[in-house]
Amino acid sequence: MTGLDRNSVRRTAVLAGAALIVGLLPLASAGTAAAADPDPVPVDRFEGEVPFASQPAEGLFTWGGDADDPPELTLAERSDAPEGAKVLAGDYDISGYGGFTHDYAADQPGHDWSAHKGIRFWWDGQDNGKKTAFEIKDGGANGEASELWTTSFTDDFSGWKQIEIPFGDFTYRTDYQPVGGIDQVLGLTQMWGYAVTLPVGAPGRFAMDDVELYGKADQSLRASVTTDAAVYPVKEGGTASVKVSVATTGSAPIDEPVTVAYESAGGTAESGKDYTPVKGEITFPAGTESGASRTVRVPTLRDRTGEAAETVPLKLTVTGAKAPAETPQVVIDAHGLPYLDAKLPVKKRVADLLSRMSLAEKAGQMTQAERGAIGAGGDIAAYDLGSLLSGGGSTPTPNTPAAWAKMIDGYQLRAQATRFQIPLIYGVDAVHGHNNLAGATVMPHNIGIGATRDPALAERTGAVTAAEVRATGVPWDFAPCLCVTRDERWGRSYESFGEDPALVESMETVVQGLQGDRSGRDLKDADRVLATAKHFVGDGGTAYGSSTTGSYTVDQGVTKVGRQELEAVHLAPFQEAVDRGVGTVMPSYSSLDLGDGQGPVKMHARADMINGVLKDRMGFDGFVISDWNAIDQLPGDYAAHVRTSVNAGVDMMMVPYGYKEFSATLIDEAKAGRVTDRRIDDAVARILAQKFRLGLFEKPYADTSGASAIGSTAHRAVARQAAAESQVLLKNAGSVLPLKKSQKVYVAGSNADDIGNQTGGWTITWQGSSGNITPGTTILQGMRKAGGDVTYSKDASASTAGYDVGVVVVGETPYAEGVGDVGNGNDLELTAADKAAVDTVCAAMKCAVLIVSGRPQLIGDRLGDVDALVASWLPGTEGDGVADVLYGRRAFTGQLPVTWPKSESQLPINVGDTSYDPQFPYGWGLTTLTNVPGGGTASLRALALVAAAAERAGARTVARTAVTKARLLVQQKIGTAVTAASAKPFADADHLLLTGHYADAVAKLTQAYRAG
């Protein structure tokens, strides 16, 4: 007899016994018991019916913080098993976190648990006094993309005990959600399983049996009363309409009547003076359909006095269903106060509002929280929060423009419940397009934009980004990164426009693309956002091995420079940004060591740099926003972190999950006099000024009129051009490129057909990921669309016979920040599979190798076997742009924004170095579809005269053209025989070109020509 048969017999016996007892009871009692106690529904019997397996299959699987943390599981035969013959047993010794999960099959629908009261299971107690967390999974696409609802039980008993947990005991996890939350409602109609998190800190063992759903759902557990909003702003004299609805899990009609008594009571508004009080009762009879609603109207009264907003809570007392989580509030809008007058100058509006605010309200404006930390948003008003952000991958579900706008509008509505109704300023890291949003136009990362050497195009990419970001309700972008990358081992090097401050400055036209006019007058427009210059200052210069953050090697390390180098290399781009009117600046996680005896000092603590240089000397009048939890890296206790960073000049603190502690600590520090009122007022005035310039007081909600253009053909055309112009042709022996449509082309390599690898980090999630993560065109798809005769074999395992040319697309997989540092599990070598693909294809035919990466890859040992080599960088979603240059629709025009090294031992290597012997120098970039000038030194002499005359006359276009012709002539002579003698003057020439020294640039190129 199988375990299932034994179980059937056992259950039959139990039911027969129950029937005998019921027969002895009065009829009414028997009927009530039968209705209240349906048969339990098994979830896990641990008899082998559920295998050890993980998604997408149904199964039991373990997990943990490191290799030692997952527990060891077994299905053990036990004579004392509460049910069947076997139990789930295991041993554990967890230092971080660990546990196990039962997920249902992802390719099947979720299960409906809504008819039951709760979930229960047998646990073999060890009487260790430790808590074990038990979670259930609700909604979403599958068990690993669902909401987590949690509770716990204490092992304070010995032997088997049945643990019963009503569904009403589960709470929404606020510290972690796999997809950032879905609707934060435990619906129970789309359940995906459960998880157990075991105790930490000491070895242990456990046994568990018979997980099942039990009991009949109370109506109050499956029926709820809701209001259509938590906040109801209304102009003075208007009437607020509060829609009260009843809904059930599974949308079934209600079984029993539901009553809702309502009464206007409390709040800051005065009954009879500011509003007409209301009181009454609503009844939803038994049989009422789910979703039925009634409306309660609260009239407000008009007076002639200007005043702050006032609240009228509408108290709801519910019988027969779950009451709303919050008491809805009618808010009589602030009115008649000077700061609300859009005709007044921003300075006067700021001064008026600031004069009215309390210390707590000011502290709230200086606080920024992560959206995932605030739940339904009640804390926005409770803590007078000034700002929210979405960190990388923190998105609404579904991840659509409409969902973004709805989410942010909901948060802005919450801010209307504050006294002065100061709108939130919402920020995102849109570092190469609205990269958190699925379907957005994703631009090449900055390293590729730097390769274009096209300031006008950089501005257009910024404008597209701004339009797509603002159309989702987001008015603030944490971009651009103005770091000057000096060591390509840095995991953020692709966020930089290049290694030369002059190149970075030339690309800062992106600030105008984001913000519009330097004056800030365009910020209120529906296609502009506030920009952020980051990371101030020196984050691109951190030394290898200097990081103190986890396993990072370069990121968040120490930049040790003299003041002259600091000014010339790292500060110069920020002066340009200030001159362009950038609205915010973000300090770096890194430390700065100026050799002045102070040693390394974290940038968030450097008052000399933030207050002294940025605000005072440079004249920056925007506000300074910290990086994510950056103040936690400062020395001392938390109070020291707060006062040090605020006094150093940081105006708003990004404290994603610590917003309550920050606000309270800042208030305490201010009351104690350790942070002055003047400093706080300066910070808040700067923040309010930008909110006024953005027009948020007049239009706090999303203007979605531009949403239809998100990911549009017009926007993708800009990204396509940027992708094309970013391609740097490093070698082109025998003019292999451009390809001809008549050629049979063999395509291989890991990055030929992977949109995730092509877009890199900071795409949909913080670290990015491989695969089909967002709509776009891969390089392979672009080649096929271009009309080429293309065959694809990712690993080059298909026959290579009969092809005219091969294209091998190799490179990196996504990473972001210090996670991508070389030495932190990364290097600059191609993978073994990529090397094999290159070797196979290039041995069989003429070949072009494209390197899709955030930084140079070491290719020197194979350079002789490769006919054409292209640095493709991270081109974004528009692989058509790469195909455009491969097939000659556009010419290759990109130039190296960083030096391409021969070996990792050369790093750091940069233009201007005394010793400079790279594989390819900074500024290198061959061209196609262009006739390269001939004539050698005679032509160079002539071009020198043209450049000098044009420079004197201020004819920059003519001068640049002369330098470009000279560069192409020199490159043609040097070919791949780059030497230290030719590389150094060649790289220097590009720096001179960018700084407007055109005649000197041609002179350097002439020197390179003679050395070549």
112: buried, middle or exposed (CB in 10 Å: 19+, 13-18, 0-12)?
A: middle
What order of strands is seen across the sheet that includes strand 293-299?
223-227, 239-248, 293-299
Active site residues: 627, 817
What are the beta bridge partners of residue 137? 148, 193
d(C-alpha 496, C-alpha 483), whole Å: 5
Q: How open is the CA angle 70-74-78, to the nearest 5 degrees?
A: 140
The radius of gyration of the chain from alpha carbons, rounded to an integer in Å, stands at 33
Write the secondary structure of 696-723 as one string of H (helix), E (strand) and C (coil). Answer: CCCCCCCCHHHHHHCCCHHHHHHHHHHH
d(C-alpha 943, C-alpha 957), whole Å: 13
For 347, the token pair is 């300075």
- Least Cα distance to 395 among 382, 405, 381, 387 occurs for 405
Residue 814 preceded by cis peptide, ω within 30: no
DSSP 610: I
d(C-alpha 310, C-alpha 330), whole Å: 8
Residue 537 preceded by cis peptide, ω within 30: yes
d(C-alpha 894, C-alpha 722), whole Å: 10
The residue behind tokens 């049989």 is 287
What percent of the residues of the chain are helix, what percent strand, and what percent coil, each to the nearest 5? Answer: 35, 25, 45
CA 755 from centre of chain: 17
Residue 287 identity:
G
φ, ψ for residue 745, nearest 5 deg: -115, 130
- Least Cα distance to 130 among 103, 102, 99 occurs for 99
Structure-derived torsion over alpha carbons of residues 231, 234, 237, 238, reported in degrees to the nearest 10: -100
Furthest-apart CA atoms within the chain: distance in Å: 117
Query: β-pairing, 86-92 with 204-216?
Result: antiparallel
CB atoms under 10 Å from CB of 706, counted, come to: 19
Contact, 593 vs 560, CB < 8 A? yes
Those residues with Cβ within 8 angstroms of residue 616's Cβ, 6 or more apart along the chain or in another chain = none
d(C-alpha 34, C-alpha 499), whole Å: 77
DSSP three-state, residue 923: coil
φ, ψ for residue 904, nearest 5 deg: -65, -25
How many residues appear in the chain?
A: 1012
In angstroms, the first-to-last Cα distance of the chain is 87
What order of strands is seen across the sheet that includes strand 591-593?
558-560, 591-593, 601-602
DSSP three-state, residue 12: helix
CB atoms under 10 Å from CB of 898, counted, come to: 29
Contact, 746 vs 793, CB < 8 A? yes
Write the secondary structure of 513-569 as one string of H (helix), E (strand) and C (coil). Answer: HHHCCCCCCCCCCCCCCECEEEEECCHHHCCCCCCCCCCCCCCCCEEECCHHHHHHH
Write the secondary structure of 659-680 as one string of H (helix), E (strand) and C (coil). Answer: HHHHHHHHHHHHHCCCCCHHHH
d(C-alpha 784, C-alpha 599), whole Å: 56
